[in-house]
Structure 1
C-alpha cells in the first residue's frame, strides 16, 4: 500500500504520530467532537504506535493508532479523518497503513456508526456493543449489594499483582499498558479468601474521569468496584464504558443517574476477541475505546 494518497487537489503522506505537534492532534480530535485533551494524546502516544496523514506543509488531516500486546494481537483506535477529507478514501488508506504495520496480528477496535461499514468492508466482524455512560456524579448513589470480600487500594508500583487476573479477563497480557494506566490512577482491588478477585482504576481523561478498566467475575463485584470510585467523584464528571446492556451492573449505572451518551461497536479481524465464560473474570469497564 502506498505511503501517500491523493485527496482532491493535494497529496497526503504518512508520518509517525510522534513527529507532529500534539496541538495538531488535539485540533484533529476537536474537529470530530472527541474529548481527548493534549495530555490524553501524549499518554496514548506513549502506550502505542501511530501514523498521521499530513499534507506538504505539515497540516494533519487524519490519524490512526494501534496498541500491540505481544506479537499476535493489537487494538486499533484514534482512527480520525478531518471533516475536509471524509468520504475521500483517507480512512481506508489509513487502515491499510495500520494493516501493513501490524503484520499478521489479530486486531480489535471499537467502531463509531460512521465508520462501521468501512470496517466491515475491510474484513472486521461485529462482536458487541459498547455503551458509554457519563455525566456529573450526584449523591446519594444507589444502594449496593452486600460486599463479599474486602476492598483495598493498590499502589501503582504493585500493579503487577493484577496482571494475571486482567489477562484472564482481557484474553492476552497487557502488563505494560496496565503499568502506564496506573500512573496517576486510583486503583481498587477486591480481595476474597486472600486472593484478588477483581480490580478497577479511576484516572483523568477527557472532560473528567474515566472508571476503567473494571475487571470482575460477576455484576455484584463490578458494582462495588465502580461505586468506590463514584463516591470520590460526587459533583464531578465521570465516564464508564461497558458492554453490559442489561443486568444489575447496567441497572446500577442507570440508577447512578449517569446518562447513556453514545454507543460504539466492538469488532475484530482474525481470531474472535471476546470470549466470555461463566464465573470467569470479565472486563466490565473498558480502559478506553482505543485501548478496550
Structure 2
C-alpha cells in the first residue's frame, strides 16, 4: 500500500500519509484542538506501540489521524482516531478507517469508541460492548492502606505477563513491556503467586493508573490504593468498566469521579478474562 494517498472531499483536498515521529508536534496540536489531554510525550508512546496515518489539508494543516496497534498475531487495537469538526460529517473518518483496516492482517479487532465515532464503527461491522468510564480529578483523600500489596520487583515480570495474558485474552508482550518500563507498580501476592498488579505512569495532565489486573473488585481497590495515596492533591486518571462495587466506590470517594465514557467495540472474536484475572483498569483507551 502506498504511504501517501490523496482524496477530494467536497471542497477539501486531503492527504493521508504514514505517521512518523516528526509529525508529533502537529499530532499534538490536533489532539489539543479536540480537547484530548495527550502530551507530545504521550503521542511518542503511541508511535512506539503502533502505526498510523496522518491527514492534512491542502495547506498542510493537521485535520485527522488514525492508528492501529498489533497487540499480538491474533488481535489488533484501533485508536487515536481524530477528525476536526469540519470533516466529521464529510466521510474523512471512514476513509481513514478503511485504510487502517486494510493493514491489520486479518486479526480480530477491538477499539474504544467516542460518541462522535460510534455510528461509524457500527457501519464498519463493529459490535458494541460495555462502556469504559474515565475517572479523573484531583485526589482529595488518602485511602487506607490494606497492607495486602507490595511494590513490584524486576523478577515479577514473567508472572505479570502471564497474568496479563489471561485477563486481556492475548499476549500483548511488547506493549506491556513498554508500560512496565515507564511505570511504578504494585502487586498482590498470595501463597507465593502474583494474583494482581497495577501500574502508574505519567500521562496527560498528571498520572494514569492502569492496567489494573485482579481477581476481584476488592483486590483492584487494594492495588490502586497506594498509587492514589502517592498522588494526593494531584491529578490522576483511571479508566474502568466497573460502574458499582468496592473499586468504583473507592475511586469516587477519593475524588476520581466518572467524567466521560467511551464504548468498547469488537470485530471478530471478543476477548476477556477468567474468574481469577480480570481487567479492572485500562492501560489507555488506545490499547485497552
Pick aligned residue for 2:264 from 266, 275, 280: 266
C-alpha separation between the residues in 1 aligned to 2:46 and 2:86? 24
Alignment of 1:66-85 (within 5 A): 66-85=68-87
Do the aligned partners of residues 37 and 19 (structure 1) sit closer, same or farther apart at CA in structure 2, a change above 3 Å counting? closer
Alignment of 1:1-292 (within 5 A): 3-18=5-20, 20-141=22-143, 143=144, 150-155=148-153, 159-273=157-271, 275-277=272-274, 279-292=275-288
Q: How big is the shift at 1:54?
A: 2.3
Provide Cα deviations, 1:223-255, integer angstroms capped at 9, x if missing partner: 110001101000100001000111211111111
RMSD (CA atoms): 1.8
Q: How big is the shift at 1:179?
A: 1.0
Name the SS of the counterpart of 1:102 in structure 2: coil
Is 2:30–2:64's contact at 8 Å kept on the other side of the alignment?
A: yes
C-alpha separation between the residues in 2 aligned to 1:67 and 1:21? 18
Structure 2 unaligned runs (5+)? none
C-alpha separation between the residues in 1 aligned to 2:228 and 2:81? 30
Q: How big is the shift at 1:219?
A: 1.0
C-alpha separation between the residues in 2 aligned to 1:237 and 1:153? 22
TM-score (norm 2): 0.94
Is 2:168–2:273's contact at 8 Å kept on the other side of the alignment?
A: no
Provide Cα deviations, 1:190-230, integer angstroms capped at 9, x if missing partner: 11100101000000000100000000001111011000110
Is 1:5–1:11's contact at 8 Å kept on the other side of the alignment?
A: yes
Mean CA deviation greater in 13-22 or 262-271: 13-22
Provide Cα deviations, 1:138-170, integer angstroms capped at 9, x if missing partner: 2243x57x55xx422224575333100000000
C-alpha separation between the residues in 1 aligned to 2:85 and 2:154? 39
Q: How big is the shift at 1:63?
A: 0.4
C-alpha separation between the residues in 2 aligned to 1:90 and 1:30? 19
Is 1:160–1:175's contact at 8 Å kept on the other side of the alignment?
A: no
Q: How big is the shift at 1:83?
A: 2.1
C-alpha separation between the residues in 2 aligned to 1:176 and 1:75? 13
C-alpha separation between the residues in 2 aligned to 1:159 and 1:12? 44
Name the SS of the counterpart of 1:280 in structure 2: coil
Name the SS of the counterpart of 1:84 in structure 2: helix
